[in-house]
Each structure stands twice: as structure tokens, then as C-alpha cells.
Structure 1
């Protein structure tokens, strides 16, 4: 008898490890290539504080120029990824309601595999950095991390009947994402020193390939696909001379229906639920812009004077960030027993604002390491906000709501990274920490939005109405099945 595997955690864990092997690699690889192009000299592997900040030479101006060029290149790369991924992530996660969750899981893994292979090829052959922009576009077309995570959270929502368990398991998924990403970043620093850049890129590609095999052939589906026998038994599916064309037409209609599911989630819902969803989605968007946008420039900030971190120190800093995910998971697990979801979100937003404010004035290695302490609870808002939205929609709408979340998250990540990359490039010469101050201020906006939801108790009212609607839906389905029983 074949064992049925419903563990989505290995997919997210291996994906996080391989992806965050790539993320610090990309920034450091681009930084070193631009160093070679702008200076005509090899990148110094052993950099100390005096060399980095020596004002008697041109090193300081070179650093500022490289910082600007690197942040702009990452800005262009993010744009190439953002626009195709917005549509593809929305389509894939929403379509998974109809064709199964693997629709949202497999394409992003294929895209990341090709992305890693492209970086390995460019690194090994020293090709133009322009090819990397094409790799970003291809990864975006395949859905990217938001499609995979959206499909993963919808997968968990399918499995969990208990809403309390659902929230904790989503937080556990966030924790797994962070812990393995930190371990990957730590390994990357030593890997670069011993093997250069090509082999780490190849290693990430191999991990994506293993993950793809597990997802495609081992992981079981949670959504039952409509069988051909069911469709053939209906009167409308009788053979016609246009069978192939009719099949394509039905597939196209089903595809359009997935977009209609997202559309109806807002247009056909009661006004009160639309208000709650809108407020929580807006809070999620501003939170993502603040946190990920601000933290996206951590590595560039750490490579710049006066910190001038080596790749090993960058790895240590990224590994220390795993404490953020562990602390946030522990916070959700403990606080969910005694606090409403809204209060947990507010504590997490306070953590984001405090940590980024401290980063703006971090001028020493010790202080930059300590920035991770006030950020310990900064991941809590993400799983809790997802859980809040999942609780107020019907079970048949889980894919649609997580498609919306994936779309908003991808848009917010793109906006955050592009805005803060360009802001950092403009302000690095006079105040490198300005971007962190801006991100800290933006974190106050979602706090206000969640405060409105809590004061009006909109989330609790909508959660109760959703449970009633689910019960009615189940009764309707059971009645429909009983009517189909033979006499």
C-alpha cells in the first residue's frame, strides 16, 4: 500500500534553504563584478576598516559609486521579476482551487531551478550581467516565491479544520522559512571563500531539482480534481465533432473562472466582509513594504563603510536573523492562547519599527548584530494576518483569498525593494540609514489599519458569519448528495 504524504513543510524548507543560498550570493556577486568593472582590479577578499574607509584615497568614493550601481542593478532585476510574477502568481494560486495545489507549487520550482542555472553559467563563464535580468524575468513568469508560498498556505488551510491549529502551523511554516534561510546564508559565506560563486549556484540548483521531484511525484494533492467520468456522465459532455475544440474552450472557461473567483470574492461579498478584507490586505501590504523593503538593503549597508563586512560576517548576520523567525514562532504559539490576533499583529509591527530604527544608527559590527534583538517578533504579523483573512472566507474561497495575498505580497515586495533600493542609492552618500528610518515610519500605517479593525470588532463578526455560511454550505452539499442516491 502506497503511503500518502501530505507534508508541505519539506517543500518550503528546501526551497527556503536553496533560495537564501542564492539571495546573499546574488548581492555579493553583483557587488564584486561591479567592483571589477569600475576599478579594473580584482575584489580584495580581506578588507579591513582602514582600507574601506580610508579618506586619503579614492576608496571611499569608489565604495559609494559601487553601492549606487549595485542598488540600481538590483532595482532593475526586481522590476524584471515583478511585472510577470504579479499576474502569474495570482493566476497559479487561484487556479489551484480548481486543478490542485501543485499548480501553484511546481512552476515556481522550475523557474528557480532555471534561475540558479543561469547564475551558475554567468559566474562560470564571466558573461554579461544582462543575462541575469533575463533570468529574473523567467523566474517571474513561473510565479516566484509568492506563488509557491501562497499555494503552501492554501495547502495548509485545506488540511486544518481547527482554526487555532491553522494559525500556529502557518507560523511554523514562516519559522521554517526563516531558520533554514539563515542556515543557508551562514553556509554561503564559507562556501564563497572556499569554492567561489559557481559551485554555490550549482548546489542551489541541485536542491531545487530534488524539491521539484518530491513535489511533483511524492506530495499528495488536497484538492480533488474533477474526474473525466463525472464530466462524461453529464448530458453536456456528449461526444461532438468538435471534441478537441470544446475541451480547449472548457479549459479556457475554467481559467477565466479562476479570475472570477478572485473578482467575486470582493464584488459578491457583503459590504462588511469586503471592508475587513480590504483593511487587512492593506495592512499586510504596508507591513511587507516596511519590513522586506527595509531589510532588503541590509547586505549592501553591511558591505559599505564604516561596517565593511566580509562575506563571512554577512553570513553570520544572516544566520543570526534565524532568531527572528524562532522568536516570532514562539510569540505566535504562546500569545495566541491569551491575545486576540490584532494585538499579536500590533506587537509584531512595534518590533519592526524598533528594529529598523535601531539599524538606521548602527555604525559598528556589534550594534549591527544587536539590531536583530528588537526584530525578534517582526515576523509575527505575516502568518497572523494570513490566518485572519483565511478565517473570514468560505473554505471554497481559500485559493482565491491566498491568490489575493500572493498578488499583494508580490506587489508589495516589488514596490518595497525598488523604492528602498532607489532611495538608498540616492541617500547613501549623506545618510545611509535614511531608508531604515523611512521603513520604520511606514510600519505605523498597518498598525493604524489593524487598530480600526479591532476597535470596530469587524474581524470577530465576520469570522462568526463565515462559520455559519460554511455550515449552510455543507448542509447544501449533503442534501445535494442525498438527492443523487438511487431509489
Structure 2
């Protein structure tokens, strides 16, 4: 299995940019929509659609209603995540590993078909005021098609196919930066657009982004794996065999020590994602609730700062890649997150949240470093399998974080909403301790002078 030569510099970056913009927009909009629906049900929003002034006095009867709205919204965010995450645990793993056999493009197309179906259902719910449970159907369909985790797995496997060992961390950082820029743009557009025109109309942009991704993948993206021409239905049959699982089994079991190293790094990756996904799950509801009572544009500005972490990480990797080990990148990123969580836990004013987002600007560095470590631990024909395993870890982390963070927030919002961020601080410290041992266990293999997997041009 060889990588094709002559690739342009831009490959999957537009897909990562547009998909992150899509996710940022529909997540922010759907959470605000659910909050708005419950606010209307409890009388905290008038018939014109304008929110009443947030109750800053805990003795005000509306304060208890606001706490109830926050708790109900958090619970429904959990329901949506469960609907998408549970089916994607299997589907993302299968689809990602399937790419080692059929190429990277077909798994991407599968994800986009599910995303188009999901966003179409969301638009219908918003327009026709359908019951909230219909949103769960949309998330379920998207989860069955692999969800965003399968797209990430295929995109990063594609980057690994067309990059050398030496340039892989930087190429991953560029890919992560594309995700970050998509998040920044999506956050800004969502905040400004929702403030001006409400929640329904902005949903059409995520719909257009999924169509763009589908067309780009189908007609413009070259395949990264050279293979014989095979019909689509023959490739589809391979998805429903045991081959994807066999590939995963071989990768983990052929060499016992390497298998343990992979699982150790993957566990650290899982914990870091629990921190990041949990934060993403509760931060919007936290900002909407007293004492902050943020508007849509304020939520957008805060999300822009957080999403900008991927761009800052790219600059850091570019400057320090040959000077710092993977351990330092993970350490700096986790410390950045920990400090941010501490500030959020005790935040009382809006500037506290902006400060926390700014200090946490390095939070994406551990994700890039750990992803690169996993890719460098395996052979070229195993890139799809390792990123399928990464997709599985991402899916489980999203589910675990959603259950844990939303449950904690729902139970503690009445007396101390910042409790969930103190829990995150404890997890952060645990991550640093665990990764210190894992890095010592794996650094010898990572520092080996491994020959090039294929004759890939450095300018791929």
C-alpha cells in the first residue's frame, strides 16, 4: 500500500475547516434553541422571543426557574450526545478501519451523507416547532454514519498517508489549525447571525457546508491510497465483514510491547478529550445562566477564543517542534487547561470567563502531540486502523464526558455551578501524572530512526 506522489499542499484541510465550522454552528445553535424552548415553557421568555432580564437576586422566584431551565437544557444536551455517540462507537471504528482497504474518500462520503440528513432534520424541527425528541433522530442518523469522529479518523489517516515521519507532527498541527480556524469562524458567524436574525436562518449555513464537503470529497479530493479499480458495492461489502476488526487486532497483538504502548498513549488521549469535550458540553449553558446571562454574540466571542487554540498550537509546534519533546507539549497544554478551569470554577463576572478562555488558549496542544505519537508508533498500512481506534476513543470520551459533566452540572447548579470545573482540575492533574509514566515507557520507540514509509515528497 503506497501513498500517491505529487499531492498539493492543500488536501483535507478544507474538509476539516468546513466540518468544524459546521459542528460549532449547529452545536451552539441547538443548545441555545433548547434553552430557549425551556425558557418559553417556564415563562422566562415572552411571546416576542425576547429573553427577560436574568435574575441576579437568588431570592427572586425566577431564579429557581432559571436553575431549572439550565438543568433541563444540560440534560437534553446529554440526550443528544448519547443519541449520536452510542452508535458511532461501532460505526466510526468500522468506517475508519475500512479506509485501509477501500481508500479514505468513501468513509468521508459516508459521514457527509449522515450529516446532511441530520441538519435537514434540525432545520425541520426549528421551522415547524416539532418536539425536541425529533432532534434525537437526527443525531442517531449522523451517529450511524460515523459522526465527526469517523471524518476526523479518515482525514488524519489521509494526512499520515501523504506525509513523512519527520513532517507528520507539523502536518497534523496544520490540520488541527484548520479545525481551529473553522471553529473561530463558526463561533463568530453564529454569535453575530443569531443575534441579528434568530436561530433558524443560521442553520442553513451548516447545511451548505455539508453539501460543500460532500462535493469536494467526491470530485476534487484525490485518493491517497493506490488500489485497483473496484466497484462501490464490492467495497461496501468489505465494511460488513470482520476485516476491520482483524486489522485492529493485528495492530495491537502482533507485537505485545507496541500494543501496550499504543493503549497507554490512547488512554492519555482519551482523558485529554474527556476534559475538552466536557468543557464544550457545559460552557454554553454556564454562560447563559446567572450571573453571566450572556447573549449570542458574547457566546460567540468566547467560543472564538477557545477555537483559536488550534491556531496558537500550530505556531507553537512550528517554533518548538525540534526543541521540545512530546511530553512538554502535553504538559504545557494540560497546565493551560487546568488554570482555565480554576478560573471558570470561581468566575463571577464576564471578564473572568474571557480570561479563562484566553489562558486556556494552549488546550489543543496535547491532542495534536498525542495524535502524532500514535501515528508514529504504527506502520503505514495501519494508519486507518490506528485512527479508527482514535475515533473510538474520541466517541467514548465524548459520551463519558457528556454523562459526567452534564450530570454533575445538573446536580450542583443550584448551589455551586463551578463544581464541574473543579472536577476537571482533578482530572487534569491525574492526566499529567499518568502521561509522565506513559512517555517514559514509549519514548525509546518514538525516538528510533524509522525509515521512510514511502517516497513521499516533503511538499505534500
Tell me, yes or no, whether TM beats 0.5: yes
1:64 and 2:86 are equivalent in the alignment: no
Cross-structure match for 1:32 = 36
2:443 maps to: 459
Partner residue, 1:243:
none
User: Cα distance, 1:422 vs. partner?
Assistant: 1.0
Q: Pick from 9, 14, 20: which aligns with 2:24? A: 20
Shift of 1:38: 2.4
Q: Give the aligned CA root-mean-square deviation in angstroms.
A: 2.3
Secondary structure, aligned partner of 1:53:
coil
Pairing partner for 1:403 from 370, 388, 392: 388
2: CA distance, partners of 1:13 / 1:273: 33
Relative contact order, higher structure (CA 8 A, sep 6+): 2
Residue number in structure 1 paired with 2:457 = none
**Does structure 2 retain, via aligned residues, the 8 Å contact 1:359–1:436?**
yes
Distance 1:81 1:253, change over 3 A: closer
SS at match of 1:308: coil
Q: Which residue of 2 aligns with 1:131?
A: 134
Work out whether 1:305 is the aligned partner of 2:290.
Answer: yes
The answer as to whether partners of 1:108 and 1:145 remain within 8 angstroms in 2 is: yes
Question: What's the offset of the Cα at 1:46?
Answer: 5.5
Q: Is the 8 A contact 1:186 1:312 kept in 2?
A: yes
State the match for 2:3 in structure 1.
Answer: none
Q: For 2:220 and 2:238, how far apart are their aligned partners in 1?
A: 29
Partner residue in 1 for 2:242: 256
Counterpart CA distance in 1 for 2:219 and 2:71 is: 45
The answer to which of 220-229 and 334-343 deviates more is 220-229
* Correspondence 1:101 to 2:97: no
> Matched residue of 1:374: which SS?
helix
Secondary structure, counterpart of 2:242 in structure 1: helix
Moved more, 10-19 or 323-332: 323-332
Shift of 1:58: 1.6
Corresponding residue of 1:185: 187
Where in structure 1 are there 5+ consecutive unaligned residues? 230-246, 475-487
For the 8 Å contact 1:88–1:143, the answer to whether it is kept is: yes
- Structure 1 residue 171: deviation in Å? 1.1
> Shift of the alpha carbon at 1:459?
2.6
Match of 1:383 in 2: 368
Counterpart CA distance in 1 for 2:120 and 2:287 is: 27
Query: 1:197 matched to which residue of 2?
Result: 199
Instruction: Provide the residue aligned with 1:353 in structure 2.
Output: 338
Compute the displacement of 1:40 (Å).
Answer: 7.7
Q: Deviations over 1:62-84 (max 9, x none)?
A: 11000111011111111111111
Structure 1 residue 122 displacement after superposition: 0.7
Q: 1:177 to 1:125 in 2, by over 3 A?
A: same
User: Quick check: 1:342–1:454 contact (8 Å CA) kept in 2?
Assistant: yes
Which ranges of structure 2 fall in alignment gaps of 5 or more residues? 1-5, 455-460
Q: Secondary structure at the match of 1:261?
A: helix
- Residue 173 of structure 1 pairs with residue 159 of structure 2: no
Query: What's the counterpart of residue 208 of structure 1?
Result: 210
Residue aligning to 2:113: 110
Task: Provide the TM-score with structure 2 as the length reference.
Answer: 0.92
Q: TM-score, with normalisation over the residues of structure 1?
A: 0.87
Q: Distance in 2 between matches of 1:250 and 1:282?
A: 31
Q: Does residue 316 of the first structure (1) align with residue 321 of the second (2)?
A: no
Distance in 2 separating the partners of 1:318 and 1:228: 44
